[in-house]
A and B are shown apart, each in its own frame.
Chain A
């Protein structure tokens, strides 16, 4: 079936540094959504992209449907960025079900 492969599974950053998370898709997806799971377990929407790139503060995301991937870049990481990040994709079919990656656990330390 349709799958979303997310990497890395865990990431450690020092404050002020940056890195990128990536999701590869086994099939063409129509859109991608990025979430952060906060300390209370709630999923916080970060981005929704049907194409191209979006930026919000220190976060930037890109989605290439043809090349079957999406990225989430974090720059100038802060302690409060720690958490688990998920990408989720909508396939090209009629279903509105999000297919989730397994998540990236980000730890930012001082």
Chain B
């Protein structure tokens, strides 16, 4: 029974690069979330999809962050261009339906130099 998978687990990027993070939700889940976790800000919502439709885009993260969900079993989060302040752990979570338990992936640790 596969949980949420995320790749890569670690990423190092130079300032100005484009990076793409990937997430595979639990099979059959309708909702998918992207969060960013830092020590200062805690967990912040970046994007929320329901049945592949973007429901929330995290407001402040619009300009350089773009999440997509082209099919129900795969999502990407693109950061373009990266900045050092983007260094954080990026978490993907999925949920069977609105308001249900969210299951988190292991995260991608991003370091931008």
Contact = CB atoms under 8 A, between A and B. Distances in A.
Interface of A: 30-31, 33, 35, 40-43, 45, 48, 88, 90, 95-98, 100, 102
Given A40-B106, A96-B95, A48 B100 contact: yes
Given A41-B107, A42-B104, A42-B107, A98 B99 contact: no
Nearest to B31: A96
17 contacts: A33-B101, A41-B107, A42-B105, A42-B106, A42-B107, A43-B104, A45-B101, A45-B102, A45-B104, A95-B56, A96-B31, A96-B55, A97-B48, A98-B43, A98-B102, A100-B42, A102-B42
Interface of B is mostly: strand
Interface of B: 31, 33, 42-43, 45, 48, 50, 55-56, 89, 91, 95, 98-107, 109
Given A42-B106, A42-B107, A96-B31, A31 B99 contact: yes
B101 A100 contact: no
A97 B104 contact: no
A96 B48 CA distance: 8
A40 B6 CA distance: 14
Nearest to A98: B102
A41 B106 CA distance: 7
3 smallest beta-carbon distances between A and B, as pairs: A48-B101, A43-B104, A42-B106
Interface of A is mostly: strand
A79 to B, nearest CB: 22
A35 B43 contact: no
A90 B55 CA distance: 16
A36 to B, nearest CB: 11
